[in-house]
Chain A
Amino acid sequence: MTRTLLSRIFGDAIFPGTFDPRWALFSANSFIAAMLAIYLAFRLGLQRPYWAMLTVYLTAQPLAGAVRSRAAYRLLGTLLGASAAVALVPLLVDQPSLMTLAITSWAALCLYVSLQDRTPRSYAFLLAGYTATTVAFSSVAAPHLVFEVALARVEEIVLGVCCATAVHTLLFPSDVTGALIRSIDAAVRDASAWTAEVFLEHAPTKGKAARWRLASDVTQFEVLSSHLRYDTAAAKPQNWMIRALQDKFALVLPMLTAIEDRLDALGERRPPELDQLLSRLGQWARAPATSQHHSQELMRLCAEFEVIRPAQDSGWDALLISSLIAKSSAMIETLAAIVELNAVIQGSQPAPYLTRFESKVHRAKRPLHRDQGLAALSVVAFFAAVLGCAAVWVATAWPEGGLAAQIAAIAAALYSSLDDPAPTLMSYTLWTIASLPIAAIYLFVIFPAIDGFPLLAASLAPPFLVIGYLQANPRHIVKALALGLGLIGALDLQNRYLADFASFANVNAASLIGLLSAFLAVRAFRSVTAKHAAKRLIRHGWVDLAILARARRPMDRERWVGLMLDRLGLVVPRLALCGADVETEAGRSLAALQMGLDLFDLKSSVANANDQRSERLEGLVVKLSNAFRWFASGNIELPPEEAQALRATIDTELGEYCKWDAAIQRTRRTALVGLRRALFPDAPAPTFDGTT
């Protein structure tokens, strides 16, 4: 019975059957770091030692590199936020309302900036925002002491950060490099296996969730590689290698899906020599590193095949085969590059072997999807929560009102990157309430009975070891943080025993009011459902495609593909969450990505040749842009007349390019076949007058 109840509350996290020693080690490290921080804070006579302990639990991460990067960003953010408070408070000391507005605006600006960056770097801006509110609202009663408050905050955070970093780095650290290398290796094996499967089985393998994981993997590499600079491993892969690998990985999903689509369209009408070629490609893809063939040799075979085929065949099937071969050849090149890069990253090949990649790789950061609209709504919710608390604080002269506003600012900012932060905030509030009885037991029963630091550490060990263990488990991280931070805040550990029930009740009531006001503001202004979030992502994809079609200047292909793939990785879990048909909906997003790649090819061919046909292609591109805008407004299909006109234009162009076989015509032909298949997969095969 007890076990059932506990397992319902804590999941299966605390039972021996699922005991994970790594999580236990993480928990022990966090506790040692917390006790070290609190001990040093006591010894140094800091004002609020519990801030140092809070920082230890907020900075703790399972990977040592992640702890160090989070520590650096937290320190940077705290310095920036404290500086902002020190700059603003003395200026507006005579205008408390204006000061509240200015500090809230600064924090809102920082929140907005942090939401524009989905990598761990955003933590610095998040901290810069809510540190300013914490310091400013703490010093409203005595504005002349703002520097002391800011200094105390910085000192305690520095202490917490240093203790967390030292302990998590020195005691059995698990490095980011190992985790990154393992996930890259798994993704490479998945990509090879999928490529081999497509080439050898010739049938679309739709309905496999693993392929959608490939899209989110690319973003995951970006997030993990941002910790690399701070990692503890002796030999770390260089960032350009990871970027090069990401650029290549980004092409795998659209290219393999295109190959599957051409095979599907050809059906059983594949000539035997094509089957032969595909089976050679498949055998190579099964084990590219150990295969007796070389990728260059296979690409040469593809090129030869492409030259021979059009002479024998004509019409739609020939175009499909030509497109299939072009895509297959590109896929082999991509997979070969991925395998080579993986070997270098794993350390089995020296880096100079691949220096040719380095010059090609963009040193600029890869863009990830950003949603300005949702970020703006987060800012509105933040304003509502903080200013609401501040208004009640000023109107009622509530002594603890400043604390409520501080907690509202932290809570409204902390989970604002989620689609719907409200359930997480509610869960956080409930678990904070759950921490209060534990804190009361400590404050009024245990602490009066003990004396000295060793006894304090021993008495705190049981709950904090359990909390640390739960924090290591991604499923329980919110409840662990709420319990841990609630407990640390409520205990308010000081050098002397100062417990007072009235103050305990007042402070914690203010914290809960702050949390609830953040919840209400977020629920009113910011919450979106998974379905709505998925729709927004899909719409952004189509709008970007329309912008690409209309773009006068050439756009960066790798950046564009990376962004679209990131969106695809984001849209899939949201579609699954709202119960939508993932295959169909995500398939449409993938089709948008494929069309983008074809458009890049088409536009580059237009830019390279200023002939009359290129001008006609410009007309087609405008029509395509209009079609993409139509899809962006939520429509699934084009109006019949427009669809027919667009298809007729593509078919006319295709008919033109059937007659020629120069490289530029081949590029355009492949791109047009790709666009036609993506836009009109069920349309009957076109007939070309004079060629069929």
Chain B
Amino acid sequence: MTEEINVAGVFVPTFVVACIFALGLGMALSATLKRAASFEIKSFAWHPALFDFAIFVILVDICYTLLGKFLS
């Protein structure tokens, strides 16, 4: 797969782009869940910040895989 993506002449590592996408996706997901669900899902988590981080890692992995597929 391509390890760097050309963004307006600047070569950015694919991993960084995946992280940025995952961050945006995570925030959008969290906001949507907050609106849609009448309860706070994170309140069921033992460690809310760790829960957030775990979701972020999963999203990074998904984004990285998808970017790799699209760019290869």
Question: Which chain B positions have C-beta within 8 A of A467?
Answer: none
One digit per residue, 1 when the CB lies within 8 angstroms of any chain B CB and 0 when it does not, for chain A 137-180 equals 00000000000000000000000000000100110010000000
CA distance in complex: A232, B52 (Å): 9
Complex contact B53–A234 (CB within 8 A): no
Shortest Cβ distance from A160 into chain B, in angstroms?
A: 15
Q: Does A364 lie at the interface of the complex (its beta carbon under 8 Å from any beta carbon of B)?
A: no
Complex contact B40–A173 (CB within 8 A): no
Complex contact A64–B40 (CB within 8 A): no
Question: B53: which of A64, A166, A233, A235 is its contact (CB, 8 Å)?
Answer: A166
Complex contact A234–B50 (CB within 8 A): no
Complex contact A169–B49 (CB within 8 A): yes
Q: Does B43 lie at the interface of the complex (its beta carbon under 8 Å from any beta carbon of A)?
A: yes
Complex contact A170–B43 (CB within 8 A): no
Q: Label chain A's interface by main secondary structure.
A: loop
CA distance in complex: A169, B52 (Å): 10
Shortest Cβ distance from B26 into chain A, in angstroms?
A: 14
Give the number of residues in A that approach B within 8 Å (Cβ atoms).
9
Complex contact A173–B43 (CB within 8 A): no
Complex contact B40–A232 (CB within 8 A): no
Complex contact A64–B49 (CB within 8 A): yes
Question: B40: which of A169, A170, A234 is its contact (CB, 8 Å)?
Answer: A234
Question: Which chain A positions have C-beta within 8 A of B48?
Answer: 232-234
- Sample 14 A-B pairs with CB under 8 A, ordered by A number: A166-B53, A169-B49, A170-B47, A170-B49, A170-B50, A170-B53, A173-B49, A232-B48, A232-B49, A232-B52, A234-B40, A234-B42, A234-B45, A235-B42
Query: Which 3 pairs from chain A and chain B are nearest by CB?
Result: A232-B49, A234-B42, A234-B43
B: residues with CB less than 8 A from A are: 40, 42-43, 45, 47-50, 52-53
CA distance in complex: A64, B53 (Å): 14
Shortest Cβ distance from B7 into chain A, in angstroms?
A: 13
Question: Which chain B positions have C-beta within 8 A of A232?
Answer: 48-49, 52
Shortest Cβ distance from B18 into chain A, in angstroms?
A: 14
Question: Which chain A positions have C-beta within 8 A of B49?
Answer: 64, 169-170, 173, 232
CA distance in complex: A169, B51 (Å): 11
One digit per residue, 1 when the CB lies within 8 angstroms of any chain B CB and 0 when it does not, for chain A 620-644 equals 0000000000000000000000000
Q: Label chain B's interface by main secondary structure.
A: helix
One digit per residue, 1 when the CB lies within 8 angstroms of any chain B CB and 0 when it does not, for chain A 203-246 equals 00000000000000000000000000000111100000000000
Question: A169: which of B42, B45, B53 is its contact (CB, 8 Å)?
Answer: B53
Question: Which chain A positions have C-beta within 8 A of B47?
Answer: 170
Complex contact B43–A235 (CB within 8 A): yes
CA distance in complex: A233, B45 (Å): 10
The residue on B at minimum CB distance from A232 is B49
- B40, B43, B47, B49, most chain A CB atoms within 10 A: B49
The residue on B at minimum CB distance from A68 is B49
CA distance in complex: A232, B49 (Å): 5
Complex contact B40–A235 (CB within 8 A): yes
Shortest Cβ distance from A68 into chain B, in angstroms?
A: 9
Question: Which chain B positions have C-beta within 8 A of A233?
Answer: 48
Question: Which chain A positions have C-beta within 8 A of B42?
Answer: 234-235
Shortest Cβ distance from A347 into chain B, in angstroms?
A: 10
Question: Which chain B positions have C-beta within 8 A of A170?
Answer: 47, 49-50, 53
Question: Which chain A positions have C-beta within 8 A of B50?
Answer: 170
- B40, B48, B52, B53, most chain A CB atoms within 10 A: B48
Question: Which chain B positions have C-beta within 8 A of A169?
Answer: 49, 53
Shortest Cβ distance from A90 into chain B, in angstroms?
A: 15
Question: Which chain B positions have C-beta within 8 A of A235?
Answer: 40, 42-43
CA distance in complex: A166, B60 (Å): 15
Question: Which chain A positions have C-beta within 8 A of B52?
Answer: 232
Shortest Cβ distance from B12 into chain A, in angstroms?
A: 10
Question: Which chain B positions have C-beta within 8 A of A234?
Answer: 40, 42-43, 45, 48
- A64, A234, A235, most chain B CB atoms within 10 A: A234
CA distance in complex: A64, B48 (Å): 12
Shortest Cβ distance from A132 into chain B, in angstroms?
A: 19
The residue on A at minimum CB distance from B47 is A170
The residue on A at minimum CB distance from B13 is A44
Question: Which chain A positions have C-beta within 8 A of B40?
Answer: 234-235
Shortest Cβ distance from A155 into chain B, in angstroms?
A: 9
Shortest Cβ distance from A231 into chain B, in angstroms?
A: 9
New contact pairs (15) apart from A170-B53, A232-B52, CB-CB < 8 Å: A64-B49, A166-B53, A169-B49, A170-B47, A170-B50, A173-B49, A232-B48, A233-B48, A234-B40, A234-B42, A234-B43, A234-B48, A235-B40, A235-B42, A235-B43
CA distance in complex: A313, B45 (Å): 64
CA distance in complex: A415, B50 (Å): 35
CA distance in complex: A23, B46 (Å): 23
CA distance in complex: A126, B51 (Å): 33
